[in-house]
Amino acid sequence: MKPSARIALATATALTATAAISACADIGASDPYGEDVQPAAPASALADGKAGGAAPAASKLTLSVAQTKALGSVVADGQGWILYRFDKDRGRPTPTSSCNGACAKKWPPVLWQARPALKGISSGIVGKVRRADGTWQLTLHGWPVYRFAGDSRPGQWKGQGVGGTWHTITRSGARNLSDAPANPSTVATQPTITDQYGNSSDY
């Protein structure tokens, strides 16, 4: 092969390699479907969630015991929102939630993301059940757990006794049958009763 031909061949080979490297770099910036993909952060950065633009981890559910003057000890989440159970559900051995659709908007289910942190609650009563929409819902002593949309701030328990079927939950997972009207009460202070909330509702 003539020297000029060898030079031309070497130049072509170098250009081909450069183009291949550039193409690989482009592939690393997007997936095969043309959607942007962020480069993975180093493991050390992901450990504290502060580097690499990683989204913060979802806050973990905490279950604790709140003290009320009228109801005694009831189960609340980590922010102090009081939790409830529904008599029309089923508990052990086959837990079932019957609150869906409009009911679930008024009584949002407490969804299971991971095993919750517990403060004063036995791990033996904590479980989960599959809902009709495929999500998992927290259970206590086999009974599905809910919040109440009528509670406007942590510590309220307006849902207690609504329809005769909704109750706050004792630390053992049992329904709290304390004879207290559904009213805008708080954990911190003895409430002033203003009205009864939703007692005419089916749920």
- Residue-wise pLDDT for 63-98, tens only, equals 999 999 899 999 999 999 999 999 999 998 899 999
Specify the number of domains making up the chain.
2
Half-sphere exposure of 129 (CA within 13 A, CB side): 24
Say whether both 30 and 101 belong to one domain.
no
Expressed as residue numbers, the domain containing 135 is 62-168
Q: What is the mean pLDDT of residues 129-141?
A: 96
95 lies in a domain?
A: yes
162 lies in a domain?
A: yes
Question: Is residue 128 over pLDDT 90?
Answer: yes
Say whether both 44 and 75 belong to one domain.
no
Residue that is written with structure tokens 């949002």 in the block: 108
- Both tokens of 107, joined, read 């009584």
Say whether both 15 and 89 belong to one domain.
no
Question: Is residue 102 over pLDDT 80?
Answer: yes
* Mean pLDDT estimate for the chain: 72
pTM above 0.85, yes or no: no
Is 203 in contact with 149 (CB distance < 8 Å)? no
9 lies in a domain?
A: yes
101 lies in a domain?
A: yes
From 162, 143, 144, 170, select the one nearest 82 (Cα to Cα).
170
Residue 162: partners with Cβ closer than 8 Å, 6 or more residues away: 148, 182, 197, 198, 199, 201, 203
Question: Is residue 132 over pLDDT 70?
Answer: yes
Say whether both 33 and 106 belong to one domain.
no
- Convert the pLDDT of each residue in 38-70 to its tens digit: 233 333 332 333 333 333 344 689 999 999 989
Question: Is residue 33 over pLDDT 60?
Answer: no
15 lies in a domain?
A: yes
192 lies in a domain?
A: no
Edge-to-edge strand order for the sheet containing 62-68? 72-77, 62-68, 117-119
